[in-house]
Structure 1
Amino acid sequence: MKTYALAHLRSVTMGPDIVAYLEAIDATLMPFGGKFVLHGDGNKRVLEGTFAGDVILLSFPDRKAAEAWYASPAYQAILPLRTRNSEGDVLLIDGVEDDHRATDILGRK
């Protein structure tokens, strides 16, 4: 089952650190099968509520690969470039099976 790394960055100070982070992150993803699904502001249209900031969504083959990427020396080396220059939330979340239905969650605790 795919696992996603989801970031909601409410503010980013663009500068040399963020540029260096962006130039380096792709190489950290490759060994773990990670790839971008969404990156940044894009062409979003808020349908309900308010939403400020950017969304970044990375896809990994599974939870083990996602956790290994985040903990990898290569990613940990560039992580401070982002965290010193942005504010937001980052999480890992597992996807659902292709045949998932909304009512499937009713059986979970």
Structure 2
Amino acid sequence: MTAYAIGNLRPPARLDEQVFEYMERIQSTLDPFGGRFLVHNAVLDVREGEWPEALVIIGFPGIEEARGWYDSAAYQELVSLRADHIPGDLVLVDGVGDGYDAGHTAAAYRAMQAGTPAAAA
């Protein structure tokens, strides 16, 4: 199942040279883990709420590859080039499998809530 590294970054108006070096070198850290950029420096069309930051999404074949990339010596050598100059948040997350149906998830949550004392009251 596909997994993702999702970054919510807050870049300054002017980027430091270290950030450019990070951007020039990151792909070589992704390649051994099957990682590829899915969203990078895209214009966001915010429909709900606020999103003043930049969004980065990197896809991986699975969560183990995503973890392997982040924990790798090659990426750990680079991460401070970005993190020290662009604050933000990064999560690794599993995607949903083929055939996922949100209606089934809603039914499971509904059943769980019906079985709780608070829902029965």
| Fold shared, TM-score > 0.5 on shorter chain | yes
Matched pairs, number? 108
Partner of 1:95: 95
Write the deviation string for residues 85-107 of structure 1: whole angstroms up to 9, x where unpaired: 01111001100112111123343
Q: Which has the larger radius of gyration?
A: 2
Residue 74 (structure 1) aligned with residue 70 (structure 2): no
Partner of 1:24: 25
Higher RCO structure (Cα 8 Å, ≥6 apart): 1
SS at match of 2:47: coil
Q: Percent identity?
A: 35
Query: Which segment drifts farther, 97-106 or 21-30?
Result: 97-106
Q: CA RMSD in A?
A: 1.5
Unaligned runs of 5+ in 1: none
Write the deviation string for residues 65-91 of structure 1: whole angstroms up to 9, x where unpaired: 110000100000000001100111100
Runs of 4+ in 1 over 3 A off after TM superposition: none
Write the deviation string for residues 42-79 of structure 1: whole angstroms up to 9, x where unpaired: 13211111111100000000111110000100000000
Hey, which of these two has a bigger chunk of helix by percent? Answer: 2
Q: Give the Cα separation in 1 of the matches to 2:11 and 2:56.
A: 13
Query: Which segment drifts farther, 69-78 or 44-53?
Result: 44-53
SS at match of 2:105: helix
SS at match of 1:5: strand
Q: Give the Cα separation in 2 of the matches to 1:18 and 1:34.
A: 19
**TM-score, normalised to structure 1's length?**
0.91
Q: Give the Cα separation in 2 of the matches to 1:30 and 1:11.
A: 25
Q: Give the Cα separation in 1 of the matches to 2:64 and 2:89.
A: 20
**TM-score, normalised to structure 2's length?**
0.83
